[in-house]
Amino acid sequence: MADIVLDKVGKQYPDGTVAVRDVDLEIADGEFVILVGPSGCGKSTLLNMIAGLEDISSGELRIGGERMNEKAPRDRDIAMVFQSYALYPNMTVRENMAFPLRLAKLDKATIDEKVAEAAKVLELTELLERKPANLSGGQRQRVAMGRAIVRSPKAFLMDEPLSNLDAKLRVQMRTVVSRLQKRLGTTTVYVTHDQTEAMTLGDRVVVLRAGVVQQVGDPQTLYDHPANLFVAGFIGSPAMNFLSARALDGALRTALGDVPIGDRLRGMLERGEAPQEMILGVRPEHFEDAALVDEAARAKGREFEAPVELVESMGSDKYVYLTVEGERASSAELEELAADAGAADLPAGGANLVTRLSAESRVREGGPYKVWFNLEKIHLFDPSDGRNITLHEGRAAGIS
């Protein structure tokens, strides 16, 4: 076991494309770190560089305090689980798991013992004599994990290990991975494009965009205090709502009505630290049925009325889709996020608002409905560079 330190690590291909730019990251011994981002953000490249499967163009990689840049993968003593599992099809499950031990030239008794132990942990004992072709997707995935844990490496690298499983199995395996990592206490770097996996699995999450680290932090911090528009839009499901907002006469004009501006923001506007045109971000759960909000809470927020387009009742709560007038917020980050979610070609129209209301709400489709939202939880972003204006000393401060 060891810590992993990335010191200004970068990757540039011979044709000039930069896949990863100056990544600084310290992963503590035993920590579970998630690299997350849309496809093509450089997360897999970064993982392959830690593994030694791709050369590091600049910066330094240290594992357990030792420089690893020039070392071959076999000398780094780290194991990797591939998205495709990459099981050796000509070998049985037992031979697959024994392969790294055989290469390490351990004696047969030790190999048998270690394989049996790993097989027990992953409930593979009955499958040891089977070939990968005769295993289900979930079983193959477990064999791939078994091959990684069997030789107790310094660190695990996982490249979207669950993305080929069906939804139900993925949720199950997520807990298996999590428990396994806690039990073994091995430093783990896990790559995924699924923000739910990132939120649920990791001690810390690294959000990457176009090879640049956007924010590093524990899942709750990323969720509550996103550093920029990209992180705000990427983390959370359903995603944060974005609306355009304009500062005018001491108030913020938005499609949800006028919002008073606090002292801090006014000061920033006066000093030119914040633009007049901004993007307002509100998470779906920070809305509530106005009829259900008590007097004390009402003062902290604002009410507005909008036609209800669709109601999805989840039992525990209701997703209500509202149509509000006004321009759709636009920026490079939002377009990228929409493209990644495949939503770029959804029909345009009034800005659609996703809200999550209590299950007791009597909201009906069709007519207009009164909805309240919490002013303390809103974010404002600068459309030009995406930075979170409401972030004060790393915490989201609302528009106070």
Partner 1 sequence: MESRGAKWRWGLLDVVVVVFALIPVLWIMSLSFKTTNTLTDGHFIPREWTLENYKTIFQTDQFVRALVNSIGIALISTLIAVVLGTMAAYAIARLDFPGKGLLVGVSLLIAMFPQVSLVSPLFDIERRLGLFDTWPGLILPYITFALPLTIYTLSAFFKQIPWDLEKAAKMDGATQGEAFRKVIAPLAAPGVFTTAILAFIFCWNDFLFAISLTSTERSRTVPVALSFFTGDSQFEDPTGSISAAAVVITVPIILFVLFFQRRIVSGLTSGAVKG
Instruction: By CB under 8 A, name the binding residues for partner 1.
Output: 51-53, 72-74, 78-80, 82-90, 99-100, 103-104, 131-137, 140, 147, 151, 164
The smaller minimum CB distance to partner 1, of residues 84 and 125, is found at 84
Please say which residue, 55 or 218, places its beta carbon nearer to partner 1.
55
- For 36, residues 6+ apart whose C-beta sits below 8 A from its C-beta are 43, 191, 192, 193, 194, 195, 197, 198, 205, 206, 207, 208, 234
Closest CB 78 distance from partner 1, rounded Å? 7
Smallest separation (angstroms) from partner 1 to the CB of 131: 6
CB 121 to partner 1: min, Å? 18
Closest approach, Cβ 156 to partner 1, in A, equals 11
Residue 279 phi/psi, 5° resolution?
Answer: -115, 125
Q: Which residue number, 147 or 318, has a Cβ lying nearer to partner 1?
A: 147
Which tokens is 101 given? 């031990």
Please, which residue, 78 or 354, has the CB nearer to partner 1?
78
* Sign of the CA dihedral running 252, 256, 257, 263: negative
Q: Is the backbone peptide bond immediately before 238 cis, with ω within 30 degrees of 0?
A: yes
d(CA 167, CA 187): 26
Closest CA to 320 of 309, 329, 304: 309
Comparison of 25 and 158: residue with beta carbon closer to partner 1? 158
CA angle 234, 237, 240 (to 5 degrees): 65
Q: Least separation, in Å, of the C-beta of 262 and partner 1?
A: 52
CB closer to partner 1, 104 vs 346: 104
Q: How far is the CB of 9 from partner 1 (least distance, A)?
A: 19
150 or 176, CB closer to partner 1? 150
What's the chain's Rg over C-alpha atoms?
25
What minimum distance in Å lies between the beta carbon of 149 and partner 1? 12
* Distance set, CA 187 to CA 77, 78, 94, 153 (Å): 12, 10, 25, 9
Name, in order, each residue with C-beta under 8 angstroms of 104's C-beta and a sequence gap of 6 or more. 151
Q: Helix 137-149 crosses helix 108-121 at what angle (to 10 degrees)?
A: 130
